[in-house]
């Protein structure tokens, strides 16, 4: 597609439930990023893929968060045993190549509410 | 530690007023800086970016920003705002060599018609 596509757009999960958020990056983009944006805050880095390799996961807040990109295109962010503090918008972004200075294109986000 | 700060949380202007949104960064070494805009209900979009060279950078929709190294600043400006500029604006800088970004907390701009 023309842009970064994310699904679901909105998800309400009961505390303790597992959720999976999908990202379809722009076709051919090598780099893929996940960010978490809490209400009233700027996006915060979670993890980064170069093709299928997860090169940086330093931003994942706990071992309940897991991301994969098995074929170097679509990526899934999984959150196990969701907690209320996981409520946020999860943004996926991609760029054509790796390295500082490349334009990063964002999806519209997946809004997660944990009740 | 690398950081980006935006001083204004919410700015309210009337149409045709001039705009300046502050952004300061805390970095060592080479700096790449960006401004993103998020219109209501839409995704983050790149307004402009600075890598090197001319410190005055022009972006889309009449926006510009000036990189002032001595002040560690990258303020966003527009001479005359329109109602359609109502949005949230995020300043960001590179985090490491991968092209990842560190964002400020954002400034919400409301333009009254």
- Residue of B46, B90, B94 lying closest to A100 (CB–CB): B94
Taking contacts as CB-CB distances below 8 angstroms, the residues of chain B near A40 are: 105-106
Size of interface A-B (CB pairs under 8 A): 68
- Interchain CB contact of A98 with B (< 8 Å): yes
Tell me the pLDDT of chain B averaged across its residues: 91
pLDDT tens digits, one per residue of A38-86: 988 999 999 999 999 999 999 999 999 999 999 999 999 999 999 999 9
- Interchain CB contact of A53 with B (< 8 Å): no
CA distances from B31 to A100, B88, B99 (A): 9, 23, 11
pLDDT tens digits, one per residue of B57-99: 999 999 999 999 899 999 999 999 999 999 999 999 986 666 6
3-state secondary structure chain A: CCCCEEECCEEEECCCCCEEEEEECCCCCCEEEEEEECCCCCCEEEEEEECCEEEECCCCCCCCEEEECCCCCCEEEEECCCCHHHCEEEEEEEECCCCCCCCCEECCCEEEEEC
What percent of chain B clears pLDDT 70, i.e. is strictly above it? 93
| Cβ pair A104:B32 closer than 8 A | no
């Amino acid at each position: 597609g023309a842009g970064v596509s994310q699904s679901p757009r909105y998800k309400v999960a009961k505390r303790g439930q597992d959720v999976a958020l999908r990202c379809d990056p722009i076709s051919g983009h090598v780099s893929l990023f996940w960010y978490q944006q809490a209400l009233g805050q700027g996006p915060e880095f979670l993890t980064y893929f170069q093709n299928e390799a997860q090169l940086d996961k330093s931003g994942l807040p706990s071992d309940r968060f897991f991301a994969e990109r098995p074929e170097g295109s679509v990526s899934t962010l999984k959150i196990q045993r969701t907690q209320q503090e996981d409520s946020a918008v999860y943004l996926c972004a991609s760029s054509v190549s790796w390295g500082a200075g490349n334009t990063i294109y964002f999806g519209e986000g997946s809004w997660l509410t944990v009740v | 530690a690398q950081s980006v700060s935006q001083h204004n949380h919410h700015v309210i202007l009337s149409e045709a007023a001039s705009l300046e949104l502050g952004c300061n960064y805390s970095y060592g070494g080479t700096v790449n800086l960006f401004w993103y805009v998020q219109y209501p209900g839409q995704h983050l979009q790149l307004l402009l970016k600075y890598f090197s060279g001319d410190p005055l950078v022009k972006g889309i929709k009449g926006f510009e920003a000036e990189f002032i190294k001595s002040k560690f600043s990258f303020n966003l400006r527009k001479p005359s705002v329109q109602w359609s500029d109502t949005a949230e604006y995020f300043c960001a800088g590179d985090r490491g060599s991968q092209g990842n970004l560190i964002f400020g907390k954002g400034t919400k701009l409301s333009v009254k018609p």
